[in-house]
């Protein structure tokens, strides 16, 4: 199908190649994920686990993710995923049905080198649009501050596929969550970071985030959770409870 | 109204008072909180803030809590509060309408001394039952583990009023959340603790919880959140995103 007006050529005209660096536009879109996106999300979760050297702790399957994600019609009230997708061609403006709760965010990046993505075949967008590749995701859900009497968002995972890293896509996903929080009148966005990951801590502090040194996360899981739930719980408590 | 069979006397018979210590039963009930419970929850949130020396950070009002809590008909899918209430008399079994999602948990404690509660007038149960006093609460909501592909619960606050502390009520509230998590097939219960609160850390470790030393909570809030949300977010990212 021929376009009414041809898009501008992606590279500079040939006669200027000697004088100006060639640039490569990368068109990006952030949209809400739905059930058909589970296979791509599943692959990214496993890549994240390998990156974190925690693959042995990752038992997520497409089936278990499908059973627990995207079953509510309303985004943001429960577990929510933003996908960031990339294309070397502009996105048609109305190519996906936008939720009344969220309008996709488009941004065009200018890269010095084209993206080389050996896995692009495995990460084609579920929207079936030509040349649209899933590049990353953020999974978040509401939390609540009693002191503020306001909800906020907690970011459980933020991941950008290797071929798309260091181009600002992670920050675009974080920013999309922050914008959504502000749009909904929420008070906070929170996440966790490993204390030895000094690059990440510096990055978050430069964003304006407060990295809280005094709090420790407590987790009751697996057999300990099962056995605690089975106890009657009547022995003495702490002074404060 | 006379009971068909009188309950056993709450103290030992008079002729045994010289030989056996007098005991005092405390009847407790854990139930789901609803909007009419907001005034009691609001007072407890402020008492908690004073206890934590963070009263200046607590801006919750009855109005702001009412606007953000208990607007969904289904508990556990969003912000949920269990109240623990106490009485010196047994609870009538059908005195409150129980949600199809949660059956109140009753337990009778035997205390050496009666409770002395100078604030009982301010903490009468919203159920209007005679002699039923709100003693504490836990606020929790679903979180999600991508590695497990399962929801869990995050406990934001656990509080027991001063007159009722060190009797196991806090543990009963924690246990009720753990039981609910197990009943729903959830994978984890999580919360945070201050790293200098060694008594609490020991208490949680004895429960079987893992106190994770390497993770730090990052928080983007207030003006930093507003200004980050307003930025376009296209500068360089971390290596991993």
Task: Give the count of domains, chain A.
Answer: 1
| A32 falls within a domain | yes
Report whether B58 contacts B142 (CB < 8 A). Answer: no
pLDDT of residue B22: 77
Lowest mean pLDDT among B47-56, B98-107, B171-180, B200-209: B98-107
Q: Enter the ipTM.
A: 0.86
pLDDT at A94: 65
pLDDT (average), residues B71-82 = 92
Query: Does residue A102 belong to any structural domain of this protein?
Result: yes
Over residues A105-116, the pLDDT tens digits come to 999 999 999 999
Chain B contact set for A201 (CB, 8 A):
216
Q: Which of residues 153-182 of B touch A (CB under 8 A)?
A: 154, 156-160, 165-175, 178-179, 181-182
At residue A208, the 3 state secondary structure works out as coil
Residue A124 per-residue DSSP state = B
Q: Does residue A112 form part of some domain?
A: yes
Q: Which domain holds residue A132?
A: 24-229
pLDDT over 90 for what percent of chain B?
Answer: 75
Please determine, for residue B94, whether its predicted confidence score (pLDDT) is greater than 90: no
In a domain, B17, yes or no: no
- Average the pLDDT over B1-18 and give the result: 46
B11 lies in some domain = no
φ/ψ of B70, rounded to 5, equals: 65, 30
CA dihedral sign of residues A127, A132, A134, A139: negative
Q: Considering the domain boundaries, does residue A6 fall inside one?
A: no
The pLDDT score that the predictor gives to residue A51 is: 87
Contact list, A150 vs chain B (CB under 8 Å) = 64, 68
Partners of residue A218 on adjacent β-strands? B191, B211
Please report whether residue A7 resides in a domain.
Answer: no
Point out the catalytic residue in the list B144, B154, B204, B228. Answer: B204
Q: For residue B46, tell me if it sits in a domain.
A: yes
Sign of CA dihedral B69, B217, A69, A185: positive
Please write the tens of the pLDDT for every residue from B49-73.
Answer: 998 888 999 999 999 999 999 988 8
For the cut 70, the answer to whether the pLDDT of residue B8 exceeds it is: no
Q: Report the percentage of chain B scoring pLDDT > 70.
A: 85
- B101 pLDDT tier (thresholds 50, 70, 90): confident
Give every CB contact of residue A92 below 8 A, 6+ residues apart in sequence.
Answer: A129
The nearest CA of chain B is from the CA of A1 a distance in Å of 33
Query: Which regions in chain A score pLDDT beneath 50?
Result: 1-17
* Confidence (pTM): 0.87
Q: What pLDDT score does A8 carry?
A: 47
Helix axis angle, A222-230 relative to B169-183, nearest 10°? 120
The closest CB to that of A238, out of B78, B199, B226, belongs to B199
Which CATH number do you get for residue A169?
A: 3.40.630.30
**Does the annotation mark B204 as catalytic?**
yes
- Give the 3-state secondary structure percentages of chain A, helix then strand then coil, rounded to 5: 30, 30, 40
Name the residue in chain B with its Cα closest to that of A49: B147
What's the confidence (pLDDT) of residue B7? 46
Taking only the tens place, the pLDDT of each residue in B147-156 is 999 999 999 9
The partner residue sitting opposite B218, judged by closest CB among A139, A181, A191, is A191
Q: Is the pLDDT of residue B116 over 70?
A: yes
């Amino acid at each position: 199908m021929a376009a009414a007006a041809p898009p501008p050529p992606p590279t500079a005209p040939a006669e200027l190649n000697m004088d100006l660096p060639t640039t490569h536009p990368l068109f990006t879109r952030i949209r809400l994920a739905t059930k058909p996106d589970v296979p791509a999300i599943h692959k990214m979760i496993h890549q994240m686990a390998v990156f974190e050297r925690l693959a042995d702790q990752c038992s997520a399957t497409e089936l278990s993710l499908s059973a627990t994600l995207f079953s509510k019609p309303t985004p943001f009230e429960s577990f929510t995923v933003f996908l960031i997708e990339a294309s070397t061609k502009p996105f048609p403006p109305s190519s996906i049905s936008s939720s009344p709760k969220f309008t996709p965010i488009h941004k065009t990046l200018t890269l010095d080198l084209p993206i080389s993505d050996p896995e692009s075949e495995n990460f084609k967008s579920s929207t079936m649009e030509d040349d649209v590749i899933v590049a990353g995701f953020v999974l978040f859900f509401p939390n609540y501050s009693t002191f503020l009497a306001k909800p906020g968002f907690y970011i459980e995972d933020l991941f950008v596929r290797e071929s798309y890293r260091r181009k600002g896509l992670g920050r675009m996903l974080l920013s999309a969550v922050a914008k959504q929080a502000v749009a909904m009148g929420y008070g906070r966005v929170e996440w966790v970071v490993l204390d030895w990951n000094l690059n990440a801590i510096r990055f978050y502090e430069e964003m304006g985030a407060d990295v809280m040194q005094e709090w420790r996360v407590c987790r009751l899981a697996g057999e300990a959770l099962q056995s605690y739930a089975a106890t009657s719980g009547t022995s003495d408590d702490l002074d404060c409870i």
